[in-house]
Amino acid sequence: MKKFVKHIAVIIVLVTAVLSILFVINKYWLLADNYLMEFPVKRKMLEQKESPRIIFQGGSNVAFGIDSKTISDSLHLPVVNSGLHAGLGLKYIMDSSFSLYRKDDVLVIMPEYEHFFGKGAYGEEITLGYLPYIGTLSDFRNLNYCQFAVVSKGFVQMTLRNILDACKGKSVTEDKFVYSKSGFNEWGDEISHWYKKRDIEPAVESPLPELNTAYIDYFATQIAELRKRGVNIVLLPPATSAANVKMNQNKLEELTAMFSLKNIPFSAPCNLFGYDSTYIYNTLYHLNKSGVSVNTDHVISALKKLN
């Protein structure tokens, strides 16, 4: 029995040592320009940019969907685009930045619809698994059981996958879009895709699962606390394809009614932010340059109406 326990202990130590070495290789070499490494950059922007400011929060529909400089010039306030990836889960996205929202800030939340259905709020393994690379120790304190399981499994998977991908090597043609940290400008907008050819992926619109009322309650509580702090909250629908809005019309009406009940109504109708396929860049939540211009105009109009 003692030998068995000893062997298990040795295996645990070896696995931990290997993962630690791979972690260092990943963090300081292989992931230097990884798309998700923009997360700590955006956090630093929130820490350093003075208030009052307009903060956009959400997933990649925000990262790919707005022209922050145009918004800043129009509304005469500094802008921070904090959107990055829906796969981080809205719970982590909001929890990790919660203490950074200040009095008189205008927090514009444009969450992907999946965040409020099923377990979408708690993240995906292939994305939230990067938390040990992009987060802080305090971020782990707010994880629930579901998120912790996602992070644990995803961390091992993605750490090993990045090493294997590096060993295989990858060639990318010049006109092919690559998700990278260097694709962002100083405002936090992903702009490198503006100059690439459209790369439409096969239609991925799919029916939404059931509402996650437990998370919606949690989200509503956070919004109430932020309002008490003097943060101005604006909830807008995400920029997505019109086909996605049409397919899930009944579910979105249910979500809209729930938000109104919780005193966090959308400040614009969902179909206003559902765009024709000619404005889609590659996925149903990513707009091309023309789409960014139209979406930015819609965002500015919605915010002006609230003044």
Q: What is the DSSP string of 146-204?
A: HHHHHHHHHHHHHHHHHHHHHHH-----TTS---BGGGB-TTS-B-GGGGS---PPPP-
274-275 and 54-58 beta bridge pairing: unpaired
How high is the pLDDT of residue 5?
Answer: 60
Mean pLDDT of 21-25: 74
Q: Is residue 132 part of a domain?
A: no
Reported in sequence order, the residue ranges of 74-162 that DSSP labels E, i.e. its strands, are: 79-81, 106-110
Cβ-based neighbour number of residue 134 at 10 Å: 23
Mean pLDDT of 133-158: 96
Q: Is residue 1 part of a domain?
A: no
How far is 291 from 293, CA to CA, in rounded Å?
A: 5
Peptide bond into 269 cis (omega under 30): no
Contact 78, 102 (CB under 8 A): no
Q: Nearest-5° angle of CA 123, CA 190, CA 39?
A: 45
pLDDT confidence band for 13 (50 / 70 / 90): low
How high is the pLDDT of residue 283?
Answer: 93
Q: Is residue 163 part of a domain?
A: no
Mean pLDDT of 75-85: 99
Report how many domains make up the chain: 1
Which is higher by pLDDT, 227 or 26? Answer: 227
Which residue range forms the structural domain that includes residue 200?
33-123+171-306
pLDDT of 183-225, one tens digit each?
A: 999 999 999 999 888 887 765 789 999 999 999 999 999 999 9
Mean pLDDT of 83-95: 99
Q: Is residue 147 part of a domain?
A: no
> Per-residue pLDDT for 174 more than 80?
no
Q: Is residue 166 part of a domain?
A: no
How high is the pLDDT of residue 165?
Answer: 85
How high is the pLDDT of residue 163?
Answer: 85
Q: Is residue 150 part of a domain?
A: no
pLDDT of 290-299, one tens digit each?
A: 999 999 999 9
Q: Nearest-5° angle of CA 107, CA 32, CA 239?
A: 35
How high is the pLDDT of residue 204?
Answer: 73
pLDDT confidence band for 50 (50 / 70 / 90): very high
Most confidently predicted of 42-51, 153-162, 169-178: 42-51
User: Across all residues in the chain, what is the average pLDDT?
Assistant: 93
Supply the pTM of this predicted model.
Answer: 0.93
The region, left, alpha or beta by phi > 0 then psi within -120 to 50, assigned to residue 303 is: alpha
Q: Is residue 84 part of a domain?
A: yes
> Per-residue pLDDT for 27 more than 80?
no
CATH number at 93 reads 3.40.50.1110
> Per-residue pLDDT for 172 more than 60?
no
Q: Is residue 152 part of a domain?
A: no
